[in-house]
């Protein structure tokens, strides 16, 4: 939960720029903004790539692209607005036409459910008519020598008729009724392979075929009946994701399994009859899943997936094996984590597609071409390597008291230099070299929070800092060094998603953990300022599930939002200061899904955003405002609301509300990932983002001068290339009369302990802020504030009175 950042500096001249103009951009990171799931080569050497990406080198490219042999975009292949969802599989026919399958339901704005055939120029092939198509995922496509098309996936309907997970189509897209699988498979088919004799191998997560036991692999005759001569002698305890048939008929299987009784983790080779090939020995195998296998002409086997070890030795995501299963040491592999989704081998070159940012020091996202020895083929380049910006997403932004900006996330590089998950910028956007994290964190950061003394709390998935054990939470000194006075012992066994620093120095921590420092602690804990557990904070029983948002009210009560369940209220809860449930906060039946963020307005009302679609059984899409007692505020009307998640909410001092997330519509109209609402929930049409960011916004922060920081997983903001981070000009929201107003009186000034605030009209609420705009105290029912614990310096008091905000400076001695 972010504190409300008000404009507290005297700004007397409005910006000449529009509020949504880009003030600072942070370059691009070459390649795709999201993973590539499928790669296929045409006979002319051009490369087709499909996946979850929506941009390539900062340009819009919805889920499919064709590249020239040198990696540049082939502009003769025009998909227009492309697909509305991701592509899983690509198959190039012998006539040059292109079959594409995935989870999309439209192409160029016209309904096209999960499969399409394109002409060589990217236009739709209208001779391929699938009717209403598939009701769910298409995961693999193969074309027989007679032109018929075998399609596998997670569907139960084709063209409105029952068809469980496998179908064969005629070349015109109609169902081939000579291929009869009866009731079919009871669960998904992830991959299929056609044998030379016409038989069809299928693998997946299914457990039955035609209501009879048939676990995760089957071979069918050309008519769709089960081939009973394929008799497995191995029992698989997990799913098979990929299959490849060697020229000698032997069958390689990769997935997330162990072959029981054979000590064969995630990869196995079978003989053509289904028995285990004992000449292929991988020892203890891989530590995680395999998604892709490609065979070389010399019999060597390239394997890709999400693994990090092979036979107990580090091996990140890709490996080449000799034909007997022994590692081929002539293939260098990668020096950092990558997750491979597809592999393509031809002419002693290897295309690698998946989720990764770098390969052996080269900044490349999603797709790379390798030489035969595993080094990068430098003749294939996706975009320029100059000023590449961040190489991965940003989760959290923190504005410091001195105007500097701390950014945390999943990135490991900035401008091609190692920068592991945390960085600080000067106010002009340059890197602050006085903030030195050394080798940094070994895994992603989810939350960053600066204390009033300038020290920085960091939480997330990491288990080390600068190479030393540090489980999920740390406090840094202002220069980036570890604060050794903050000792959490063995820390947390699972990730942290939220942190709130109280004014008394205590720290509330939320996440997915179930213990702290070896002692039971379920999902939420309060620590003392030295890192020890605060034993005065006792949570209610039956509290379990991740806490994503924490917010403390002026009266000390604590609002929690997340994916948790309790014996009282699910997803949103208010606690008393001692951790007990506040029964005066009643949301009734509440929400039907996860809450990602909670923001407290100066008037005590509560903004809640997330994944939910209902509140108290009534439609409420992703955003709501509650009264202080938990009831719905009916004066805040978002109508149909958002179709995608809300991750971040930030309120402006004029009452307007910035909302960021993964949504692409608001009230049924296009609105990409960020919107500003008026105080009544209506869209603020003066805040025009154009095309906005091309991917999700995770965090929003407003500077004291009104400028707006956005962090997330985007690469472009309305045509401006900026990897994961951008600053907009924003707008000045306080007039001269609202700053240091004579209608607000504070005394004594300077002050040592008790500050009294009076106004010409009744004060409904007030807040105390430091000179950076950070909110450090709020009250709704008192005009006197004890400021004795504040450090000496300049502060501001902001009062809400008679429907307006007024502000006054004071000095703490």
Q: Round to whole Å and give the CA distance between 122 and 72.
A: 17
Q: What percent of the residues of the chain are helix, what percent strand, and what percent coil, each to the nearest 5?
A: 0, 45, 55
Mean pLDDT of 548-554: 94
Task: Determine contact, residues 296/303, Cβ cutoff 8 Å.
Answer: no
The whole-angstrom separation of Cα 316 and Cα 358 is 12
Q: Assign 641 a pLDDT band (cuts: 50, 70, 90).
A: very high
735 pLDDT higher than 90: no
Tens digits of residue pLDDT in 751-803: 888 888 887 666 766 777 765 555 666 665 567 788 887 777 777 777 766 55
Length of the chain: 813
Q: What is the pLDDT of residue 181?
A: 98
Cα separation, 526 vs 535, in Å, equals 8
pLDDT of residue 6: 32
Q: What is the pLDDT of residue 472?
A: 98
Place of tokens 């490609």: 294
Q: Which residue has the higher pLDDT, 746 or 44?
A: 44
Q: Does residue 613 or residue 347 have the better pLDDT?
A: 613
> What ranges make up the beta strands (E) of 492-566?
496-501, 507-511, 515-516, 519-520, 524-527, 547-552, 558-562
Contacts of 378 (CB under 8 A, 6+ apart): none
| The pLDDT of residue 423 | 98
Contact 470, 420 (CB under 8 A): no
For every residue of 57-76, DSSP letters joined together read TTEE--SEEEE-TTS-B-TT
Average pLDDT over residues 555-562: 95
Instruction: Scan for tokens 């991959």, then name that residue.
Output: 191
Measured CA to CA in angstroms, residue 280 lies from 193, 270, 272, 326 at distances of 20, 9, 14, 8
Does position 529 have pLDDT exceeding 70, yes or no? yes
Find the range with the poorest average confidence among 192-201, 219-228, 264-273, 534-543.
Answer: 534-543
- Residue 19, pLDDT above cutoff 90: no
Parallel, antiparallel or unpaired: strands 572-575 and 595-600:
unpaired
Place of tokens 């008393």: 576
pLDDT band at 361 (very low <50, low <70, confident <90, very high): low
pLDDT at 30 over 70: no
Question: In the predicted model, what is the mean pLDDT of residues 363-369?
Answer: 81
More confident residue, 383 or 376: 376
Torsion angle (degrees, nearest 10) of CA 676, 682, 687, 690: 90
Average pLDDT over residues 197-223: 96
Mean pLDDT across 718-722: 85
Dihedral sign, CA of 425, 426, 429, 432?
negative
Query: CA–CA separation, 692 vs 702, rounded Å?
Result: 17
Residue-wise pLDDT for 428-472, tens only, equals: 899 999 999 999 999 999 999 999 889 999 999 999 999 999 999
CA dist 234 and 495 (Å) reads: 37
- pLDDT at residue 140 in the model: 98
List of residues 6+ apart from 568 with CB closer than 8 A: 540, 581, 583
Closest CA to 51 of 439, 41, 40: 40
Please tell me the predicted confidence (pLDDT) of residue 5. 35
Check pLDDT > 80 for residue 734.
Answer: no
The mean per-residue pLDDT over the stretch 193-211 comes to 96
Of 694, 29, 27, 26, nearest in space to 383 by CA: 29
> Quick one: pLDDT band at residue 204, thresholds 50, 70, 90?
very high
Closest C-alpha to 476, from 440, 503, 502: 440
- The 3-class SS string of 138-186 reads EEEEEECCCCCEEEEECCCEECCEECCCEEEECCCCCECCCCCCCCCEC
Residue 262 pLDDT class (50, 70, 90 cuts): low
Structural contact between residues 498 and 547, judged by C-beta atoms closer than 8 angstroms: yes
Residue 107 sits at φ, ψ, to 5 deg, of: -135, 125
> What does the block give as tokens for 466?
């600068």
Q: For the chain, what is the radius of gyration of the CA atoms?
A: 29
**d(Cα 312, Cα 796) in Å, to the nearest integer?**
58
With cut-offs at 50, 70 and 90, classify the pLDDT of residue 2.
very low
**Measured distance CA(557)–CA(676) in Å, rounded:** 28
What is d(CA 182, CA 619) in angstroms, rounded to the nearest whole number?
40
Q: Kindly state the average pLDDT of the residues 418-435.
A: 94
pLDDT, tens digit, 9 for 90 and up, residues 232-241: 767 788 999 9
Mean per-residue pLDDT for 375-391?
A: 75
What does the pLDDT read at residue 15? 37
Instruction: For the chain, give the mean pLDDT.
Output: 89
Q: Where is pLDDT greater, at 94 or 54?
A: 94
For residue 635, the model assigns a pLDDT of 97
Which range has the worst mean pLDDT, 23-27, 199-203, 556-560? 23-27
Please report the pLDDT score of residue 197 as a whole number. Answer: 92
Q: Which region among 43-57, 191-205, 255-269, 698-712 has the lowest average model confidence (pLDDT)?
A: 255-269
Q: Which of 433, 428, 434 is nearest to 414 (CA)?
A: 433
Backbone φ, ψ for residue 718 (5° rounding): 45, 50
Q: What percent of the chain has pLDDT over 90?
A: 69
Any idea which of 6-20, 242-256, 390-404 has the lowest mean pLDDT? Answer: 6-20
CA geometry: angle 646, 549, 499, nearest 5 deg: 135
Q: Decide if 395 contacts 697 (C-beta within 8 A).
A: no
Which stretch of 384-393, 570-579, 582-591, 672-681 has the lowest confidence by average pLDDT? 384-393
| Mean pLDDT for the stretch of residues 641-667 | 94
Kindly indicate the confidence band of residue 614, based on its pLDDT and cuts at 50, 70 and 90: very high
Give the model's pLDDT for residue 311. Answer: 92
Which pTM value belongs to this model?
0.70
Nearest Cα to 725, choosing from 366, 426, 429, 387? 429
Coil vs helix vs strand at 561: strand
Give the rounded percent of residues in the chain with a pLDDT score beyond 70. 90
- The pLDDT assigned to 733 comes to 43
Taking only the tens place, the pLDDT of each residue in 101-158 is 999 999 999 999 999 999 999 999 999 999 999 999 999 999 999 999 999 999 999 9
Question: Tokens representing 374?
Answer: 């595993």
Positive or negative: CA dihedral 686, 689, 695, 699:
negative
Q: Which residues contact 759 (CB under 8 A, 6 or more apart)?
A: 743, 744, 745, 799, 801, 806
Q: Domains, the chain, ranges and CATH?
A: 22-26+388-728 (2.130.10.10), 36-370 (2.130.10.10), 736-812 (2.60.40.1930)
């Amino acid at each position: 939960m972010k504190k409300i950042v008000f404009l507290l500096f005297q700004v007397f001249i409005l910006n000449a720029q529009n509020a949504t103009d880009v003030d600072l951009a942070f370059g691009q990171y070459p390649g795709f903004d999201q993973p590539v799931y499928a790669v296929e080569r045409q006979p002319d050497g051009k490369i087709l790539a499909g996946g979850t990406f929506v941009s390539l080198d900062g340009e819009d490219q919805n889920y499919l692209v064709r590249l020239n042999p040198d990696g540049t975009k082939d502009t003769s292949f025009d998909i227009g607005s492309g697909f509305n969802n991701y592509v899983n599989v690509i198959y190039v026919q012998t006539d040059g036409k292109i079959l594409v399958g995935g989870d999309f339901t439209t192409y160029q704005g016209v309904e096209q459910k999960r499969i399409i055939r394109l002409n060589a120029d990217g236009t739709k092939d209208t001779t391929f008519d699938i009717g209403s198509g598939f009701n769910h995922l298409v995961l693999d496509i193969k074309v027989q020598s007679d032109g018929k098309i075998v399609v596998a996936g997670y569907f139960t309907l084709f063209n409105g008729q029952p068809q469980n997970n496998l179908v064969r189509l005629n070349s015109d897209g109609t169902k081939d009724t000579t291929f009869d699988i009866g009731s079919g498979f009871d669960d998904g088919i992830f991959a299929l392979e056609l044998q030379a004799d016409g038989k069809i191998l299928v693998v997946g997560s299914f457990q039955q075929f035609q209501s009879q036991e048939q676990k995760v692999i089957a071979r069918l005759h050309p008519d769709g009946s089960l081939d009973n001569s394929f008799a497995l002698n191995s029992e698989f305890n997990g799913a098979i994701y990929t299959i490849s048939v060697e020229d000698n008929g032997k069958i390689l299987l990769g997935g997330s399994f162990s072959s029981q009784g054979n000590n064969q983790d995630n990869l196995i080779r079978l003989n053509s009859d289904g028995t285990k090939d004992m000449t292929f020995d991988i020892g203890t195998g891989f530590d995680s899943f395999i998604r892709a296998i490609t065979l070389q002409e010399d019999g060597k086997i390239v394997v890709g997936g999400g693994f990090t070890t092979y036979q107990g030795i580090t091996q990140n995501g890709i490996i080449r094996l000799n034909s007997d299963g022994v590692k081929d040491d002539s293939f260098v592999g990668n020096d950092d984590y990558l997750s491979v989704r597809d592999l393509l081998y031809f002419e002693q070159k290897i295309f690698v597609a998946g989720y990764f940012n770098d390969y052996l020091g080269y900044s490349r996202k999603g797709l790379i071409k390798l030489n035969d020895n595993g080094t990068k083929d430098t003749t294939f380049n996706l975009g320029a390597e100059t000023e590449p910006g961040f190489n991965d997403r940003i989760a959290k932004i923190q504005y410091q008291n001195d105007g500097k900006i701390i950014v945390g996330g999943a990135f490991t590089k900035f401008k091609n230099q190692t920068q592991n998950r945390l960085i600080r910028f000067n106010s002009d956007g340059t890197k602050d070299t006085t903030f030195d994290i050394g080798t940094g964190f070994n895994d992603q950061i989810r939350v960053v929070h600066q204390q009033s003394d300038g020290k920085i709390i960091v939480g997330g998935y990491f288990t080390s800092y600068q190479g030393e054990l540090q489980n999920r939470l740390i406090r840094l000194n202002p220069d980036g060094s570890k604060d050794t006075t903050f000792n959490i012992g063995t820390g947390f066994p699972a990730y942290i998603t939220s942190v709130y620093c109280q004014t008394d120095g205590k720290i509330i921590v939320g996440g997915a953990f179930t213990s702290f420092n070896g002692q039971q602690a379920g999902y939420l804990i309060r620590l003392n300022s030295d890192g020890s557990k605060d034993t005065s904070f006792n949570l209610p029983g039956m509290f379990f599930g991740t806490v994503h948002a924490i917010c403390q009210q002026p009266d000390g009560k604590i609002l929690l939002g997340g994916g948790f369940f309790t014996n009282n209220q699910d997803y949103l809860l208010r606690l008393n200061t001692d951790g007990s449930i506040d029964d005066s906060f009643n949301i009734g039946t509440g929400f039907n899904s996860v809450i990602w963020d909670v923001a407290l307005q100066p008037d005590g009302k509560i903004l809640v955003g997330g994944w939910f679609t209902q509140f108290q059984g009534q439609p409420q899409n992703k955003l709501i405002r509650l009264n202080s007692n938990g009831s719905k505020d009916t004066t805040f009307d978002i109508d149909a609301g958002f179709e995608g998640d809300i991750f971040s909410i930030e309120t402006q001092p004029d009452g307007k509300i910035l909302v960021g997330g993964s949504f692409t519509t608001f009230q049924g109209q296009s609105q990409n990932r960020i919107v500003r609402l008026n105080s009544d929930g209506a869209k603020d049409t003066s805040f025009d983002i154009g095309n906005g960011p091309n991917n999700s916004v995770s965090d929003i922060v407003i500077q004291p001068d009104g400028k707006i920081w956005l962090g997330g997983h985007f690469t472009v903001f309305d045509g401006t290339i900026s990897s994961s981070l951008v600053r907009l000009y924003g707008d000045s929201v306080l007039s001269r009369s609202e700053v240091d107003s004579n209608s607000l009186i504070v005394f004594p000034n300077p002050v040592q302990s008790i500050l009294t605030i009076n106004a010409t009209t009744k004060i409904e609420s007030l807040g105390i802020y430091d000179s950076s705009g950070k909110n450090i105290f709020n009250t709704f029912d008192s005009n006197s504030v004890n400021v004795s614990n504040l450090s000496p310096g300049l502060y501001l008091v902001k009062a809400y009175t008679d429907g307006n905000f007024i502000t006054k400076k004071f000095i703490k001695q």
